[in-house]
Structure 1
Amino acid sequence: MVANRLRARRAGIDTYQQPVVYMRSDCDVCRAEGFQSQAQVEVLAGARHLLAILHHVTDEWLRHDEIALSEAAWTLLGAASGDEVEVRHPPLQDSLAHLRAKVHGVKFDYGALRPLMEDVSLGRLADIHLASFVTICAGGGLDFDETVALTRAMVDIGERLDWGVSPVMDKHCIGGLPGNRTTLLVVPIVAACGVTMPKTSSRAITSAAGTADAMETLAPVELDVASMRRVVEREGGCIAWGGTARISPADDMLIRVERPLNLDSEGLLVASILSKKIAAGSQRVLIDLPVGPLTKLRSVEAAGLLSRSMVSVGAALGLQVRIQLTDGTQPVGRGIGPALEAMDVMAVLERRADAPSDLRERALLLAGGILEMAGRSEAGSGVRMARAVLDDGRALAKFIAICEAQGGMRVPPGSAHSHEVCAPVGGLVSAIDTRLLTRAAKLAGAPRDPAAGATMHVRLQDRVDLGQPLFALHAESLGALQYALSFVRSQLPIVHIDARQ
C-alpha cells in the first residue's frame, strides 16, 4: 500500500452535512503528513474527492491502515468498503483572499463572490471560514450591490431550470410560524387554474415540520429534475424536496453554519430565498412574511425593510417579487408536525366542516395573490377565483393528481401515544408561545417521527374553563412523550390565560 493511502471504512456516524473522517493518530499517514485533529484533509477515490475534517482515534476499533468516513463523507466520496483512498493536505483556496479583503473594508463584487460560492458549494472551505463569511455579512454587512452579486453567484454555481413556459409562479414563507402549511393548498389551487407552479420546498431545520416533510406523508417528494419536469408537464405543478436537484447548492452549506451562530443577516436571507427561486426557474414569486412577537419579523417596520430589499434585489435579477404580510401571533391550523399538518391540509381540500378556517383563508389569500400576479385573474378578484376552485373540488382533484404523478398518494400516519395538556385556570387565551410549542413538538419526535407533534385546541381570545384541553402532544414512544411533557411542565404557561377576564 502506498504511504498516503488507506482503506475506506464506513463509520456509521451522522455528522449532518459536515464531512468528517477518522484516522488513527499513530498511523503512518498522520505521522508522515503531520495531520492534527480538527485539520482539514482531502480524500481522493479515483476521480472523486472530498474535503473533510479529521478526527483522531486512539482506540483499537480502527486499524492503522484504515480511514473511517462519516455518513456525509461516505455519501459524497462514493467509495466502497475496503477501497484504497488517498489522503493529503488540501490545496490552498484562492477565494479566501476575497474573504480577507472584505474584513479589511473591500466590498464584495461578483468576481469575488462567484469563486467563494463555488468553493462553499463543493465543500472546499472549512466551517471556520464559512462562519467568518456569515459573520462578515451579518448586521448590515452587505449593501444592495453586494446582495445582488451574492444572489447571482449563488444561482450561477448550481443548476438552473427552464420550464419553457411563462409565467412560472412560486411562493415562499420565511417561516417561524408553526402549522403554516399553505403550500400544499396553494399549488393545487393555482395549477387547477392552468398556471404553472413547480414548487421545490425544504425540510425542517429548526421547525417541527418543513413543507417537504408534511408533503412526504402524502406522496413521494425526492424527485430528480427529470421527474419534476414530467410531473409539471402533466399536472402543471409539483411539491418536491429541493435537496434532490443541485439548486443554489451553496445556500444549504451556509444555512448549516448560520443556525448555530444565530446571526441576523438581511443580505444573506434575501440571497438565500431569491437564489433558489431564480435557480428553480421561477419568474414571479409571492413571499409570505408572518409578523408577530415570536416570528423572524417582530414588527411591521422590520417587515417593510425586508420587503423593499427583496423586491429591489429581485427586480435587479429579473424576478418579480410581491410581498404579503400575514398574522404571526399564533399557530396556523391545528396540527404541528408532518402528518398532523398534512391532515389539516386534507381537511381543507376535502371541505370538511371541521377544517381549520385560518389555514383555509390564509391559503386562499396567497393563492389569490399568485393568480393575480400570473394575470389569470383581475386585480382584487384572485381570492374569489381561488375560493371557487377550492369549493367546487377542483383543488382536491388536482392535489390527488399531483400526488399520483409524484409516485402515489399515501395516508398520513397516526401516533401511537398522545396526552392532553389542560388549562390550569379558567379565563381568556391571551397569548400562545409558538417557539415553546414548536420545541415541545420537536421533543415529542417531530419531524423525525412523522406522526409526532402537537395539536392545538384553542386560539387567541378563546374562553376556556379550568381543566379544558389546550393542546395535545403526540409521540411514537412513551419515552418521547414523557420527555416532551417534562419540558412543557417546566415551561408553563405555553398558552397564557388571563384569569381576570
Structure 2
Amino acid sequence: MRVPVLRARRMGIDTYQERVAYMRSDCEVCKAEGFEARARIELRCGGQCVVATLNVVHSSLLGREEIGLSEAAWSALGQAEGAPVQLGHPAPLQSFSAVRGKIFGRPLTNDAATAIVADVRAGRYSDIEMAALVTACSGGRMDVVETIALTRAMIGAGQRLHWNSALVVDKHCVGGLPGNRTTLLVVPIVAACGLVIPKTSSRAITSPAGSADAMETLAPVTLDVTRIRAVVEQEGGCIAWGGAVSLSPADDLLIRVERPLGLDSDGLLVASILSKKVAAGSTHVLIDIPVGRTAKVRSAQAAADLASRLKAVGQALGLTVEVLVTDGAQPVGTGIGPALEARDVLAVLRGDAGAPDDLRQRALLLAGAVLEMGGKAGPGEGTALARKVLDSGAAWAKFQAICEAQGGMREPPVAAHTHVVRALHSGVIVAVDNRAIALLAKLAGAPGAVAAGISFAARLGRQVVTGDALLTLHAESPGALAYAIAYAESQEHLVTIQQSVC
C-alpha cells in the first residue's frame, strides 16, 4: 500500500513545546486519510517518528504538497526543509485507559504510571489528554502510594546525574512567594563550606521569575551534563537550568499544561520536586514551604500535609527530606522579576547597606538548615555558620567563582520605563496580595522581558501617608508599562492600607 508523503516546511510558529502540524484542507493526503482538525497524526522522516496535533489550513499559506511544522515539531523531527515526510495514523494510546480509570476512581499502579510517563515523554499525549491526566490527579485524588509510583516513573524517563560524594545536598521552595530568590544565596554559602550542591533550577512557571531566570541575568544557565559536572567538580556547586539536561522531562511537559489550568495537587507537586532532586543526584534535600493567605500553600494544615507526603515519598526513594515552613504573607526582598531579584541577591552577597534584610535572613535560615543536614554544623548552629560565611565575603567570592565557571559573570540589565504606584490615603499596610503582585509583574513583562517587574516597598506594618511610594513598575516597553498601570489601578486590594482612626 502506498504511504502518503508530503514535503516538510518549517512554519516558525512557537507552540511552546506542543508538536503541531499544519495541512491544507484540500490536500489529497488530508482528504484521503480523513484527517480532521485536532486529529493526532504520525510523522516519519529519516528514521524519526513524531506524533503531532493537526491544524487544518483553509488558505494558500501552505502548498497542497506541504506539511507545515511548529517549532516544537520541527525540532523533534530534526530534518531539512523540503524533506519527505510519511504520514499515518498513530497507534492507539493504550496507557490512556489508566487515566480514564483514574478519573473514575481507580488508583494508578506502578505499571500504569510507568506507561503513562513513557508516552508523555515520547510526545504521544496531546495537550487535551495531558490536561485530563493533570485533572484526574488533582484535588487530593492521589495517595502516597500513587505519588511514589509516579515519582519513580518520572525519574526513570530522564537522565540521572551521579557524583563522587556520598552526601549531595539541595534545597527547593514550593513557590507562591514573589521575590523569594534564596537559591542564589544558599548555593554559594553551602558550597563555600565544602558541601556538594549541584542546583538545577526551573524557569518561571506561574511566577514573574524562577531561579534560573534570575541567575541567567548574571551568568549562563543553559549547561549540558558535562559542563554541570565540570562546574560542580571545580566549585562544589552550580545554579543551572534543569530543562537543559532532561532531568524528569515528562514533568516539564506536564507543567506546560498545569500552568494554564491552575490546578493544585500535592501528588503532582511532590512527584515534580522529588523526581528532579533524585535525578540530579541529591541525597539530602531541604524544602521551603511558605504559608500565607495568598501564597501557594495557604494554611498550616495544608503545609503539614504536604510536608508529610514529601518526607514519605523521599523515604521510599532513599532521599532524606527535611521541611521548613516559612512566612508567606508578603513578597521577599524589594525586587520582583529576573533582573530586579538578581540585584537583591548581589546586594546581600556584597553586604550593601541597602540590601533587603528579609531576603538575607531567610537565606541564612535555609542555608543553616542545609549545613546542619550536611553535617557541617551541629543542631541549631547552622544559621550562625551561614552568617559567618556570608559576612566574611566567602559566599560572595564563591558566587563569583561559580558564575565564572558557568561562562562568565555580568551585571543584570535595567528597564527603560518606570512608574511609581502611590498610596491613595494614609494608614498602616496590613495585607499584600501575593498573587496580584505576581500578575502585575508579569503584565509589566517579566520574566520574558528580564529587566521588567516591580520594586516593592509596601512592607506589612509600614506606616504610610498619602502619596508615599508603594511600588515601582519596571517595563522594557511603553505598552507593557501601560498594561501594568491599568491593572494596578483596577486592584483595590493589591496592597491593603488600614486608615488611621482620628
Partner of 2:239: 239
| Equivalence for 1:72 | 72
CA distance in 2, matches of 1:479, 1:139: 38
What residue in structure 2 maps to residue 497 of structure 1?
497
1:484 alignment counterpart? 484
Residue 492 of structure 1 deviates from its aligned partner by 3.1
Letter of the 1:138 counterpart:
S
Closer/same/farther in 2, CA of residues 3 and 156 from structure 1, 3 Å limit: closer
Show the 5 A alignment for 1:377-396. Answer: 377-396=377-396
Q: Deviations over 1:33-67 (max 9, x none)?
A: 11111001111121212111100001112100111
Structure 1 residue identity aligned to 2:465: D
Please tell me whether residue 39 in structure 1 is matched to residue 54 in structure 2.
no
Deviation of 1:105 after TM superposition, in Å, equals 4.3
In structure 1, what is the Cα distance between the partners aligned to 2:376 and 2:99?
Answer: 46
Are 1:139 and 2:135 an aligned pair?
A: no
C-alpha displacement of 1:128 = 2.5
Question: For residues 150 and 478 of structure 1, what CA distance do their matches in structure 2 show?
Answer: 45
Whole-angstrom distance in 1 between the partners of 2:69 and 2:370: 46
Note if 1:21 corresponds to 2:49.
no
Q: Is the 8 A contact 2:429 2:495 kept in 1?
A: yes
Pairing of 1:453-492 with structure 2 (within 5 A): 453-492=453-492
Taking the aligned partners of 1:493 and 1:151, their CA distance within structure 2 comes to 39
Mapped to 2, the partners of 1:462 and 1:108 lie a distance apart of: 50
Aligned: 1:162 with 2:166: no
The equivalences for 1:280-359 within 5 A come to 280-359=280-359
Aligned length: 500
Contact 1:3 1:29 in 2 (8 A): no
Give the partner amino acid of 1:440: L
Asked if structure 2 preserves the Cα contact closer than 8 Å seen for 1:441 and 1:454, the reply is yes
CA deviations 1:210-234 (Å, max 9, x no partner) are: 1100000000000011100000000
1:144, CA displacement in angstroms? 1.6
Asked if residue 407 in structure 1 is aligned to residue 410 in structure 2, the reply is: no
Asked whether 1:262 is paired with 2:258, we answer: no
Over 3 Å counting, the alpha-carbon distance change for 1:150 and 1:346 in structure 2 is: same
Q: Is the 8 A contact 2:158 2:247 kept in 1?
A: yes
Other structure's SS at 1:428 match: strand
- The answer to whether the 8 Å contact 2:475/2:481 transfers is yes
Q: TM-score under structure 2 normalisation? A: 0.98
Distance 1:375 1:342 in 2: 29
* Paired residues of 2:3 and 2:87 also in contact (CA < 8 A): no
Look up the match of 2:398. 398
Deviates more, 1:363-372 or 1:453-462: 453-462
Which one is further off, 92-101 or 250-259?
Answer: 92-101
Moved more, 231-240 or 263-272: 263-272
Which residue number corresponds to residue 11 of structure 2?
11
Q: Report if the CA contact (8 A) 1:217-1:338 is conserved.
A: yes
The amino acid that maps onto 2:500 is R
Amino acid at match of 1:437: I
Structure 2 partner of 1:107: 107
Matches of 1:483 and 1:106, distance apart in 2: 45
Change (3 A) 1:276 1:9: same
Aligned-pair CA distance for 1:436: 1.3
8 Å Cα contact 1:336/1:453 also seen in 2? yes
Alignment RMSD: 1.2
Give me the whole-angstrom Cα distance separating, in 2, the residues matched to 1:229 and 1:237: 9
Letter paired with 2:45: A
| Aligned equivalents of 1:357, 1:47: Cα separation in 2 | 56
User: Following TM superposition, by how much is the alpha carbon of 1:120 offset from its aligned partner in structure 2, in angstroms?
Assistant: 0.7
Q: Map of 1:204-243 to 2, 5 A cutoff?
A: 204-243=204-243
Match for residue 275 of structure 1? Answer: 275
Identify if the C-alpha distance between structure 1 residues 3 and 150 changes in structure 2 by more than 3 Å, giving closer, same or farther. closer
Q: CA deviation at 1:493?
A: 4.1
Q: Offset at 1:103?
A: 4.1
Aligned to 2:93: 93
Give every structure 1 segment of 4 or more consecutive aligned residues whose post-TM-superposition deviation is greater than 6 Å. Answer: none
Q: Could you say which residue in structure 1 is the equivalent of 2:118?
A: 118
Structure 2 SS opposite 1:243: helix
2:171–2:286 CA contact under 8 A, matched in 1? yes
Paired residues of 1:23 and 1:54 also in contact (CA < 8 A): yes
Query: Counterpart of 1:325 in structure 2: which amino acid?
Result: V
Distance 1:400 1:176 in 2: 28
Q: Which amino acid aligns with 2:312?
A: S
- The Cα of 1:107 is off from its aligned counterpart by 2.4
SS at match of 2:489: helix
Task: Report whether the alignment pairs 1:448 with 2:448.
Answer: yes
Asked if structure 1 preserves the Cα contact closer than 8 Å seen for 2:217 and 2:450, the reply is yes
Note the alpha carbon deviations across 1:158-195, whole angstroms, 9 max, x for none: 11111121210011101010000000000000000000
3-state SS in 2 of match to 1:244: helix
Cα 1:103–1:440 change in 2 (3 A) is: closer
- CA distance, structure 1, for counterparts of residue 161 and residue 300 of structure 2: 34
Change in 2 beyond 3 A, CA 1:489/1:380: same
User: Per the alignment, in what secondary structure is the counterpart of residue 244 of structure 2?
Assistant: coil
The code of the aligned residue for 1:196 comes to V
Return closer, same or farther for 1:36/1:419 CA change in 2, 3 Å cut-off.
Answer: same
CA distance in 2, matches of 1:464, 1:471: 12
For structure 1, the 5+ residue unaligned runs are none
The letter for the 1-side match of 2:310 is M
CA distance in 1, matches of 2:426, 2:101: 61
Which blocks of at least 5 consecutive residues in structure 2 are unaligned? none
Q: How many angstroms apart in 1 are the aligned matches of 2:440 and 2:381?
A: 40
Structure 2 CA distance for aligned equivalents of residues 214 and 35 of structure 1: 44
Assess if the C-alpha contact under 8 Å between 1:3 and 1:28 holds in 2: no
Which residue of structure 2 lines up, in the alignment, with residue 252 of structure 1?
A: 252
- Which residue of structure 1 aligns with residue 150 of structure 2? 150
- For 1:484, the aligned partner's letter is A
Q: Which amino acid aligns with 1:241?
A: W
Question: Could you tell me the TM-score, scaled by structure 1's length?
Answer: 0.98
CA contact (8 A) 2:3 2:86 kept: no
Single out whichever of 345-354 and 97-106 deviates more from structure 2.
97-106
Q: CA deviation at 1:104?
A: 4.8
Deviation at 1:96, TM superposition (A): 2.3
Shift of 1:261: 2.4
Query: Which letter maps to 1:465?
Result: V
Amino acid at match of 2:91: P
**Which stretch has the larger CA shift, 264-273 or 404-413?**
264-273
CA distance in 2, matches of 1:193, 1:282: 17
Task: Provide the rounded CA distance (Å) in 2 between the counterparts of 1:441 and 1:104.
Answer: 39
